[in-house]
Structure 1
């Protein structure tokens, strides 16, 4: 049974529609990540769950109870903000205890809660310091501690790592995941960083212009994007989206990829050919992730359909654990992910293996998935 339910949620500011009928749900103990570009409505959606913004239409239910009209203090939620929102004149311990003190929690109980949370977040030694004496990562832990002592039904995180440097973001991401595994509390987390979304979530909601584009597990979102926007937004490097044509030869359907001044590459489609039969002779958008386009020695041995073609390598980008090679197909730069010691040079021709079991196809007019 879903624990948090968002049912046809709508939010407008005057005549401007921000959320346009968003529906999703998450089970108790789940980790829901709302992801999308700036202005897509993800923070507005979080604020409506928190009760900081009234809804224009639809319902929000927590544990089966409608909370649309409940004051934020009555929803049994705790929110961690991007800015941390710590009181500068209070110590770390006082910041963590403040909410409990307002609610009249006895001091012995407050002290125990502070000690438990400080130990969990490894900030025991910081309890007497002021926020100005802390690093960004330490402030983030204090903000999380203040939320944790409330033991709410739902935690809300609004881009909590965006103010941290790259390495600290990775470290704090791991801490948040470890915390969720220990506590098992339901979390709704907003980010524009799709790597955060993929690594933290049990479910991801991808938003664009106030509309839910896709909702599913990280694997579903990554491997089976429902449209070109999701395919392009989720993944780093992004999925290659190549203009192509569906052809046919004596053995069945093929995907034809144009090359400048050369004969097109023709790749056999195998099982995908049935779904694509209405598109024979027509343009499609061929989607393949960089890791599914690699050197032949690195191709997935379990893949049922791998085709190899010689490609002109334009750019080579060593990246430590991988080497990225850029070729041109369908008039676009296409990124292949090769092993670190792959021997490729710019300006040469090299064989690349296309894992067609991982390929997806979109209608270029509607931008929706067709196979």
Structure 2
């Protein structure tokens, strides 16, 4: 039985449908990340789980209990907010213990819980300080500590790292991952950052305009996106989505994509691409990740679907561990991820290796994946 289950959930503000039939379920100890662009409904969905927003239709179950009509205090959840929401006049220790004090937990028990959680979060040396004396990362740890001492059924995180600088975000991401692995807690985490989603989640729910676009593991979302929105949103750099025509010849199928100069670029499709045979003579959207489009020496030697073709390189972007090369195919800018020491120059022609085993194809009309 799922530990957290959301069934046909709808939320309406006046005449505006914000959530449109959301179905999700995660196991106990799972890490569910709700991801999507601003305004997609992810924070509203989190607030309905918390009980901060009522729902228009559907059901929410936590540990087998329907919680639709329960007050937030009765749902056994703890929430960590983007703004930290610490009491400025209290010390770190008092902030962490405040919820237990309100519930009448004896002081020796409170002190032990504060001591244990402060050791886990490595903030024991900060217990006597006030929030104004802390950095952003330290404040976030205190907010997490306040939630952890409650030992709730579900932890809810609402974009907790968005106020931190880039390096601290990476550090705190690692801390949250380590914390989850050690405590085996059930977490629902909201972010607009797809890198956070990929690195933290055991399951990802991608939302757009209040509609669940895809729900699956990070690998499923990344390698087998259900539609062009998910393909474009998840991944940095994003998946290349290239308009192409499918042509049949005596030897099978091939893709054809116009270039800015010269003849169209053609790629012979491997035998496994027979799934798009019904599109022969028509058009598809050819999706390929930048790492599946590289220099020949950097291509996957275990793949039988690697095809080489020469492209005009327009821009070269060294990025330390990688070099990104930009070309144009099908009227679209296309990014290839090359080895750091790949010999490439803007304005030159270069053979690129297309790993067609990693390619996906979409219907140009519906934008849904067809293969």
For this structure pair, what is the TM-score category when the shorter chain's length is used for normalisation? over 0.9
Q: Report the CA distance between 1:340 and its aligned residue.
A: 0.3
Q: Which runs of 5+ in 1 are unaligned?
A: none
CA distance in structure 2 between the aligned counterparts of 1:123 and 1:273, rounded to whole angstroms: 54
CA distance in structure 2 between the aligned counterparts of 1:272 and 1:11, rounded to whole angstroms: 43
Q: Secondary structure at the match of 2:170?
A: helix
Q: Report the CA distance between 1:197 and its aligned residue.
A: 0.1
Say whether residues 1:319 and 2:319 are aligned partners: yes
| Structure 2 counterpart of 1:136 | 136
CA distance in structure 2 between the aligned counterparts of 1:193 and 1:271, rounded to whole angstroms: 37
CA contact (8 A) 2:87 2:95 kept: yes
Q: Secondary structure at the match of 1:2?
A: coil
Q: Secondary structure at the match of 1:341?
A: coil
Length-normalised TM-score, structure 1: 0.99
| Structure 2 counterpart of 1:126 | 126
Say whether residues 1:309 and 2:309 are aligned partners: yes
CA distance in structure 2 between the aligned counterparts of 1:261 and 1:196, rounded to whole angstroms: 39
Q: Secondary structure at the match of 2:11?
A: strand
Q: Report the CA distance between 1:303 and its aligned residue.
A: 1.1
Say whether residues 1:5 and 2:5 are aligned partners: yes
CA distance in structure 1 between the aligned counterparts of 2:174 and 2:8, rounded to whole angstroms: 33
Say whether residues 1:186 and 2:186 are aligned partners: yes
Q: Report the CA distance between 1:264 and its aligned residue.
A: 1.1
CA distance in structure 2 between the aligned counterparts of 1:250 and 1:101, rounded to whole angstroms: 78
Compute the RMSD of aligned alpha carbons: 0.6
Which of structure 1's runs of 4+ aligned residues deviate more than 3 A? none
CA distance in structure 1 between the aligned counterparts of 2:272 and 2:262, rounded to whole angstroms: 26
Say whether residues 1:260 and 2:260 are aligned partners: yes
Q: Secondary structure at the match of 2:258?
A: strand
| Structure 2 counterpart of 1:68 | 68
CA distance in structure 1 between the aligned counterparts of 2:167 and 2:177, rounded to whole angstroms: 16
Q: Report the CA distance between 1:304 and its aligned residue.
A: 2.0
CA distance in structure 2 between the aligned counterparts of 1:66 and 1:271, rounded to whole angstroms: 50
CA distance in structure 2 between the aligned counterparts of 1:54 and 1:333, rounded to whole angstroms: 44
| Structure 2 counterpart of 1:343 | 343
Q: Report the CA distance between 1:272 and its aligned residue.
A: 3.9
CA distance in structure 1 between the aligned counterparts of 2:346 and 2:260, rounded to whole angstroms: 16
CA distance in structure 2 between the aligned counterparts of 1:112 and 1:174, rounded to whole angstroms: 26
Segment of structure 1 superposing worse, 303-312 or 107-116: 303-312
CA distance in structure 1 between the aligned counterparts of 2:168 and 2:111, rounded to whole angstroms: 29
CA contact (8 A) 1:254 1:273 kept: no
CA distance in structure 2 between the aligned counterparts of 1:306 and 1:49, rounded to whole angstroms: 46
CA distance in structure 1 between the aligned counterparts of 2:107 and 2:186, rounded to whole angstroms: 28
Aligned residues between the structures: 371
Length-normalised TM-score, structure 2: 0.99
CA contact (8 A) 2:34 2:188 kept: yes
| Structure 2 counterpart of 1:280 | 280
| Structure 1 counterpart of 2:367 | 367
